[in-house]
Structure 1
Amino acid sequence: MGPGECPSLGGNDLWMGKRAVMALFYCFFPPGWLAGAAPVPMMGMGMPRPSGIPQAQNASRDGCPCPMLQLSAMEATADFVVESPDVVYGPDTIEAQYEYRTACVSREGNVLKVYPTSTRFTFRTARQVPRLGVMLVGWGGNNGSTLTAAVLANRLRLSWPTRTGRKEANYYGSLTQAGTVSLGLDAEGQEVFVPFSSLLPMVAPDDLVFDGWDISSLNLAEAMRRAQVLDWGLQEQLWPHLEALRPRPSVYIPEFIAANQSVRADNLILGTRAQQLEQIRRDIRDFRSSAGLDKVIVLWTANTERFCEVVPGLNDTAENLLRTIQLGLEVSPSTLFAVASILEGCAFLNGSPQNTLVPGALELARQRRVFVGGDDFKSGQTKVKSVLVDFLIGSGLKVRGLGGCTAQEWGGGGLDPKHQACGRGACVPWGLQLPRGPLFPQTMSIVSYNHLGNNDGQNLSAPPQFRSKEVSKSSVVDDMVQSNPVLYRPGEEPDHCVVIKYVPYVGDSKRALDEYTSELMLGGTNTLVLHNTCEDSLLAAPIMLDLVLLTELCQRVSFCTDTDPEPQGFHSVLSLLSFLFKAPLVPPGSPVVNALFRQRSCIENILRACVGLPPQNHMLLEHKMERPGLKRVGPVVATCPVPCKRGAAPTAPNGCTGDANGLSQADTPQMPTT
């Protein structure tokens, strides 16, 4: 699909294969997520216009003045007011009446009966933005030092030379800072976009105050240099600002992380588990007081830990978990930080894959009405996976893999242990053909391989820590598979194999290789193979930023319904953050959603509800009617339809209008320039 073509119009050319995959990246990733791509407004189908492609000019056909479809420019100002009797802007709050429409389904015999329902909500959002502090566990790691450096670079408006030109500080990759939302249509029927952060009052990222803990005593400048993430010219400018920042001592329990991390552990909180818990709480109180903060949010961005077994009487309830800490029994460092944060009334967010938020911690959070969220930042490879699998299954294609990981990746294993009972060949040596039949159904798989050379990769080289990561990565496709019973029978699912290797040379620049094979009609197959070079910490840092800003915003939102007029807030397990986590935590009994587009729509539509705007449904019925009949504000210019196609391909200097394969140059997809 060329930049002048539009998938929303009937004909010409089927929209499949390479062009569809390209469009996916435009549709699902917020502007600025693609490295080097400037944040741009979005087309009607959610696709940004590639830079360098001019907007279509007014044209005419058969004497009829007919404006070509144009890309709506983002409004120069982010300020807007919703003019509605259902929205009241008070000095302290924004109050909005909102009609929440959904449907209930019941089964009667062989018939599904659907009952549309409607509930009237009243949302109240406090307008006063607090002075917010962020405490990072693992502040001196790659993610912590990169996020701190990014905020400082933006606050100081830094720029620096590189071999490809001069770069300026920005927040690319952040949904709240580089994403946009559509407010609606203007008088000409074009969508109007504003920055995501303008929907509701949010903390400005430049105003954040940072502190934190780390088992390494390096100051933030030394940690930045050790991480080798940022360009040298930027490091030199940031050095004097970061040199004075030094992490507080942290908790080190060797059996929870890889043995290779012991060389870093020179900055420790000593004492019993109860004494360590109390010291963390004192640190939080000291930071809040000394920095003059209204709120503090604690975020775990330290090493991946091994899973902690959930044991009745040990960590299954809040009471048992607190007693376990007092008795000095098994509790992970991350759970200690979570409990300390909750007891201090601070939201806690888990950016690693281990089960930090054991049932006892979740119960404690609910008792104290404190937000918690997790698990594991969703940045590179998994974010792509949650898009592609949704695309394949949503298009009616059944994911069927032709490979698995080698037996060596499983320690010489043979079958994946989770499938030993049923005999499914999830992870077998390459080329080994298993018999088909009741015991060996046809293999369906998604294979993900990646290698990285940062400290996270070194820690994950230990099997217990790798297992935590494998679990969080492997559940990302479950809801998409379950959504299509036409393709997958009950209990049937793709085998999902994940391999991670530590290669020091590549540093923070992780390499990811994925293969997706899907079945077409009449026995055909379609295979997608992706190679993704992920700048690990530069992808994670804006996610951490969004987590903090959205969590704080949710703390200022309350709502009630006509049937339950008592104001309440969101559930303590803040599932609204699912867009940012690989293995999102949800309240008990709630469905887990991993599909990226649905996750983003959830955030956007809840924020829209808070200002009385309808959910974004992408129907655009105004443009699909034979006779215009929907009311618009302002004068409406009559238009006639035109094909959303570019003109003839320009003639190349050699006189050729096609490429080496004889295809028109006009059909060559164009990507954003960097």
Structure 2
Amino acid sequence: MGKIGVWLIGARGSVATTAIAGAAAMRAGLAARTGCVTELPDFAGTRLPGLGDLVFGGHDVVDTPLVKRAEQLVAAGVLPATLPGPISADLEAAEARLRPAPDGGGRAAIDRIAADLTAFREGLDHVVVLNVSSTEPPCVPHPAHASLAALDAALDAGEDVLPASAVYAYAAFRAGCGFVDFTPSTGARLPALDELARTAGLPYAGRDGKTGETLLRSVLAPMFAQRALNVLSWSGTNLLGGGDGATLADPGAASSKNASKQQVLSQNLGRDVDGEVHIDYVPALGDWKTAWDHVLFEGFLGARMTLQLTWQGCDSALAAPLVLDLARLTAKACGDGVAGPVAEFGFFFKDPVGEGPHDLASQYAALREWANR
């Protein structure tokens, strides 16, 4: 497919740094391709760009160089200690393509981002913008979100009517780029931006990467439904460290995350069930997370039973290969002229855009079929 630009929002964060380092390591034969869905045999015949075809750039609000961020991730146990040295040239090359994130949500910020993307895409076949930044609070509805004409009128009048994630989605479409939101933030999920994507003939996908507790829920909830077992309550507690945990300590940001987590249960069980998800920030956990779920269900003749499970994982190591998968798949969607939401990418998300199944097995089948068309 030629060279594919991967523009990361939050490019110096743990997930982005791990993705950039991981791609370099796999290209150099220094790491196995474990965790990369698009490297499975089911995708061997698909027309996807190779890992060596990915060119990284991005925006961030911090200025810690990628080489230093990789060293920090080594100290945290996320990256192998021997890795940063051999891939330092790749990290430095990506660093040279990073730009400071603009302030505000108005027309000036959109124009600045679009200009950065236009400069970046010179010499590249396609560019995919991926949001891996911090989670935003829920978007406050505004009349300007209803249509592209209303949105443009508000922006031209100097109004800041878009959250940061939607500013990036708007700028991505204006610059001719596909867009993926790996966070539960608004992103392209506004009628005005959906209209813009379809008009521009560009794909988008999201939202909120499914990497841990919700991944399990998308497998287990269908099991209960298909075995005619009545789930009475499903409660969860998440312990998070690192930047993600610090962000989600804010109730507004946590509400976006919790809503996407609960979506998987209601969609797969066909109704809402009792129980809530709690997120606690534990700084000492660093990049690791622990999720504990308690499921109360009813069986034959009303017998009550429980399932309890614990998931412990490294957030960046779970998310980074999916970021690379989505970059490759969205590049294919760009090349194929797909416009609007790509529902078949729902396999990767807690709260997917478009119409599609919510159980993992059906989502995987839909993704495999789409990729092999």
Same fold per TM (> 0.5)?
Answer: yes
In 2, the alpha carbon distance for the partners of 1:582 and 1:205 equals 25
Aligned to 1:435: none
Aligned to 1:174: 36
Aligned to 1:293: 124
Is the CA contact (8 Å cut-off) linking 2:203 and 2:342 kept in structure 1?
yes
In 2, the alpha carbon distance for the partners of 1:151 and 1:546 equals 11
Would the alpha carbon gap of residues 607 and 350 (structure 1) be closer, same or farther in structure 2, given more than 3 Å must change?
closer
Q: Match of 1:577, SS? A: helix
Gaps in structure 2 of 5+ consecutive residues: none
Aligned to 1:596: 360
Q: Match of 2:121, SS? A: helix
Aligned-pair distance for 1:277? 1.2
Is the CA contact (8 Å cut-off) linking 1:140 and 1:218 kept in structure 2?
yes
In 2, the alpha carbon distance for the partners of 1:383 and 1:548 equals 20
1:273 matched to 2:82: no
Would the alpha carbon gap of residues 202 and 241 (structure 1) be closer, same or farther in structure 2, given more than 3 Å must change?
closer
In 1, the alpha carbon distance for the partners of 2:210 and 2:193 equals 22
* Candidates 355, 374, 379, aligned match of 2:211: 379
In 1, the alpha carbon distance for the partners of 2:331 and 2:140 equals 31
**What is the RMSD of the two structures over their aligned residues, measured on CA atoms?**
1.7
Note the alpha carbon deviations across 1:395-452, whole angstroms, 9 max, x for none: 121112xxxxxxxxxxxxxxxxxxxxxxxxxxxxxxxxxxxxxxxxxxxx21111111
1:585 matched to 2:373: no
Within a 5 Å distance, the mapping from 1:356-371 to structure 2 comes to 356-357=187-188, 358-371=190-203
1:451 matched to 2:239: yes
Is the CA contact (8 Å cut-off) linking 2:230 and 2:298 kept in structure 1?
yes
1:531 matched to 2:310: yes
In 1, the alpha carbon distance for the partners of 2:132 and 2:231 equals 33
1:149 matched to 2:149: no
Q: Match of 1:511, SS? A: strand
- The alignment's TM-score, normalised by the length of structure 1, stands at 0.53
Would the alpha carbon gap of residues 359 and 395 (structure 1) be closer, same or farther in structure 2, given more than 3 Å must change?
same
* Candidates 280, 292, 296, aligned match of 1:501: 280
Aligned-pair distance for 1:603? 1.5
In 1, the alpha carbon distance for the partners of 2:332 and 2:305 equals 43
Q: Match of 1:516, SS? A: strand
Equivalent residue letter for 2:22: A
Aligned to 1:466: 254
Note the alpha carbon deviations across 1:14-68, whole angstroms, 9 max, x for none: xxxxxxxxxxxxxxxxxxxxxxxxxxxxxxxxxxxxxxxxxxxxxxxxxxxxxxx
Bigger radius of gyration among the two: 1
1:221 matched to 2:93: no
Aligned-pair distance for 1:527? 1.4
Is the CA contact (8 Å cut-off) linking 1:325 and 1:331 kept in structure 2?
no
- Relative contact order higher in (CA < 8 Å, ≥ 6 apart): 2
Note the alpha carbon deviations across 1:336-364, whole angstroms, 9 max, x for none: 11001101111011111022222211111
In 2, the alpha carbon distance for the partners of 1:397 and 1:309 equals 38
Aligned-pair distance for 1:496? 4.1
Aligned-pair distance for 1:212? 0.4
* Candidates 499, 512, 521, aligned match of 2:291: 512
1:334 matched to 2:334: no
Aligned-pair distance for 1:476? 0.6
Q: Match of 1:447, SS? A: strand
Is the CA contact (8 Å cut-off) linking 1:454 and 1:504 kept in structure 2?
yes
Aligned-pair distance for 1:196? 2.5
Within a 5 Å distance, the mapping from 1:54-453 to structure 2 comes to 129-158=1-30, 169-177=31-39, 179=40, 195-227=41-73, 228=76, 229-243=78-92, 245-246=94-95, 247-252=98-103, 273-289=106-122, 292-312=123-143, 314-326=144-156, 327-357=158-188, 358-400=190-232, 445-453=233-241
- The alignment's TM-score, normalised by the length of structure 2, stands at 0.93
Q: Match of 2:340, SS? A: coil
Aligned-pair distance for 1:547? 1.1
Is the CA contact (8 Å cut-off) linking 2:36 and 2:322 kept in structure 1?
yes
Aligned to 1:656: none
Aligned-pair distance for 1:250? 0.5
Gaps in structure 1 of 5+ consecutive residues: 1-128, 159-168, 180-194, 254-271, 401-444, 483-491, 558-568, 611-674
Is the CA contact (8 Å cut-off) linking 1:222 and 1:243 kept in structure 2?
no
Note the alpha carbon deviations across 1:128-158, whole angstroms, 9 max, x for none: x231110000000011000000011111222
Within a 5 Å distance, the mapping from 1:601-616 to structure 2 comes to 601-608=365-372, 610=373
Equivalent residue letter for 1:338: A
Q: Match of 1:329, SS? A: coil
Aligned-pair distance for 1:378? 0.8
In 2, the alpha carbon distance for the partners of 1:555 and 1:493 equals 36
Is the CA contact (8 Å cut-off) linking 1:315 and 1:321 kept in structure 2?
yes
Q: Match of 1:399, SS? A: strand
Aligned-pair distance for 1:369? 1.4
In terms of fraction of residues, the more helix-rich structure is 2
Is the CA contact (8 Å cut-off) linking 1:221 and 1:238 kept in structure 2?
no
Instruction: Give aligned-pair identity as a percent.
Output: 31
